[in-house]
Amino acid sequence: MPAPQRTGGRSMTRIPLHAEDRERARVTFRENPLFSALDDEQLERVLDRTRLARLDPEAQLFEQDQPATDIYLLESGRIKLSRISPEGQEKVIHLVAPGNTFAEAVLFSGMARYPVTATALNACRVYCIDLQTYAGILRESIDACFAVMARLSRRLHEHVAEIDRLTLHNATFRVIAYLLDQIPEDQGGPDTEIRLDIPKHVIAARVSITPETLSRTFSRLQKQGWLSVQDNLIVVHDVDRLRQYIREGA
């Protein structure tokens, strides 16, 4: 039986992976760019040295300045990473979502101690991955490093695309909400005209987007046939469709 570890005044047990947990871990690890690039034998070596921690809400997984022994992969729940400032104030650095790793800084930068405190916000299941085992696999093979870099950079590209999509989607929503705000509630036939009485860069600032994104949004809406833009005259072809867009949030 493993001895419970004392962290932050609460006991927490890290247990080796039993067959079922290990199978579940294997699936989760294969989704993560730090592990998806390992070959089968390397992944099994990592799993041999991985333990499962179950945390109650408020429990600490590790504390700032504690010697670093593991990197972590959150399976379920939500983890808060925070630092205590010299003035004693807590600063939240990051909230970890399921499927993501944390504390890789100690791995890649060779830090001896954790730079943050990790606290469970709710009930969490966390895989604790032995730092030396994983680092050893990478250090023994440039190919493993290249594979991990490939996955990381591919994931980065996906995120850049996702942020772009979200930003544009967000912008479209706001621009439409702004335009509808210029149309009285009782109006809204086909081809309703809106004369913009303020410059476009001011409108952009009002809806918290860049002028460039405003232009992209207008041209996309124009291409979709939702409206026509001519200098400061906007013709909304179907006001109800815009109102429905806002109502449905899509």
Phi-psi region of 27 (alpha: psi -120 to 50; beta: other; left: phi over 0): alpha
Check residue 152 for interaction with its own copies (CB under 8 A): yes
Q: State in angstroms the smallest separation of the CB of 11 from its own copies.
A: 29
Check residue 113 for interaction with its own copies (CB under 8 A): no
Chain positions 12 to 51 lying near its own copies, rule: CB under 8 A, are: 33-34
Work out which of 65, 146, 224, 225 binds its own copies, going by CB under 8 A: 146
Half-sphere exposure (CA, 13 Å, Cβ side) for 150? 10
Work out which of 4, 57, 67, 110 binds its own copies, going by CB under 8 A: 110
Work out which of 120, 138, 179, 221 binds its own copies, going by CB under 8 A: 138
Part of the chain binding its own copies (CB under 8 A), chosen from 16-24, 62-70, 95-103, 124-132: 95-103
Nearest one of 240, 196, 245, 202 to 220, comparing CA atoms: 245
Scan for tokens 């833009």, then name that residue: 229
Work out which of 13, 36, 69, 100 binds its own copies, going by CB under 8 A: 100
φ, ψ for residue 213 (rounded to 5)?
Answer: -65, -35
In the chain the first and final C-alpha atoms are separated, in Å, by 52
Work out which of 121, 145, 196, 235 binds its own copies, going by CB under 8 A: 145
Check residue 83 for interaction with its own copies (CB under 8 A): no
Number of residues that bind its own copies (CB under 8 A): 53
Chain positions 163 to 182 lying near its own copies, rule: CB under 8 A, are: 163-164, 166-167, 169-170, 173-174, 177-178, 181
Nearest one of 99, 110, 80, 106 to 24, comparing CA atoms: 99
CB 79 within 8 A of CB 112: no
Buried/exposed 197-234: b ≥16 CB within 10 Å, e otherwise: eeeeeebbeebebeeebbebbbeebeeeebbebeeeeb
Which is nearer to its own copies, 13 or 182 (by Cβ)?
Answer: 182
Q: How far is it, in rounded angstroms, from Cα 36 to Cα 170? A: 32
Work out which of 57, 65, 97, 233 binds its own copies, going by CB under 8 A: 97
Q: How far is it, in rounded angstroms, from Cα 154 to Cα 131? A: 24
Q: What residues make contact with its own copies under the rule CB under 8 A?
A: 33-34, 94-95, 97, 100-102, 104-105, 108-110, 138-139, 142, 145-150, 152-157, 159-164, 166-167, 169-170, 173-174, 177-178, 181, 185, 206-209, 246-250
